[in-house]
């Protein structure tokens, strides 16, 4: 898929579908799963052009979790933060100021947010929220760890479908097309 942005840069995009049951690590704790996507070039040969790029664009396109709204309400979860194992260069989040941490902002690892439609909360538009692209390190260089956290940054626990690996997601990875 190709796209041309407002500065007339052409981007090439690829979709990656991840099911937590296929993770190489995370069978006991599906809220933290690891996938090796370094061999993606075996199946998408045009990606070889971007293997050495330092960064890419990432977007959480779709997310599904085997969990009920009632469970999230009981656990006081209103939003799921989908994070990766590297800080994102152009993304920051708030952090509690303390003696050990005098800064209120820190680099974020969040590639997407998912409202869980808790009836305890009011959302801006939870039915059609669309995550945007974020700049990330090049995830094609090996393993990626996906961590599911709540709105307070705590790793989700007590997932009902834990033994069945409860989530499925689609991420879109984009690279500025190289001119030849």
Question: Which CATH topology does 2-95+103-176 take?
Answer: Jelly Rolls (2.60.120)
The string of pLDDT tens digits covering residues 43-89 is: 777 777 888 889 999 999 999 988 888 888 888 898 999 999 998 98
Sheet order of strands, 2-4 included: 2-4, 10-19, 167-176, 55-65, 134-137
Structural domain boundaries of the chain?
Answer: 2-95+103-176
Judged by DSSP in three states, 50 sits in: helix
Instruction: Tell me the two tokens of residue 60.
Output: 């959480």
User: In Å, how far are 40, 72, 111, 144 from 162, measured between CA atoms?
Assistant: 27, 14, 22, 20
pLDDT at site 34: 93
The string of pLDDT tens digits covering residues 95-135 is: 888 888 888 888 899 999 998 877 776 666 655 667 899 99
Question: In this structure, is the dihedral angle defined by the CA atoms of residues 42, 47, 52 and 54, taken in order, positive or negative?
Answer: negative
């Amino acid at each position: 898929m190709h796209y041309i942005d407002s500065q007339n840069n052409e981007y090439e995009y690829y979709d990656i579908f991840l099911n937590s049951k296929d993770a190489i690590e995370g069978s006991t704790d599906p809220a933290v799963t690891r996938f090796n996507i370094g061999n993606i070039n075996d199946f998408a040969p045009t990606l070889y052009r971007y293997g050495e790029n330092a960064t890419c664009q990432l977007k959480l396109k779709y997310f599904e979790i085997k969990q009920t709204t009632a469970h999230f309400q009981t656990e006081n979860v209103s939003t799921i933060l989908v994070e990766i194992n590297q800080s994102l260069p152009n993304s920051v989040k708030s952090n509690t100021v303390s003696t050990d941490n005098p800064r209120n902002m820190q680099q974020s690892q969040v590639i997407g947010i998912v409202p869980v439609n808790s009836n305890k909360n009011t959302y801006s538009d939870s039915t059609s929220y669309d995550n945007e692209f974020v700049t990330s390190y090049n995830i094609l260089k090996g393993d990626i760890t996906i961590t599911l956290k709540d709105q307070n940054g705590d790793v989700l626990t007590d997932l009902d479908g834990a033994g069945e690996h409860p989530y499925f997601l689609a991420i879109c990875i984009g690279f500025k097309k190289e001119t030849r």
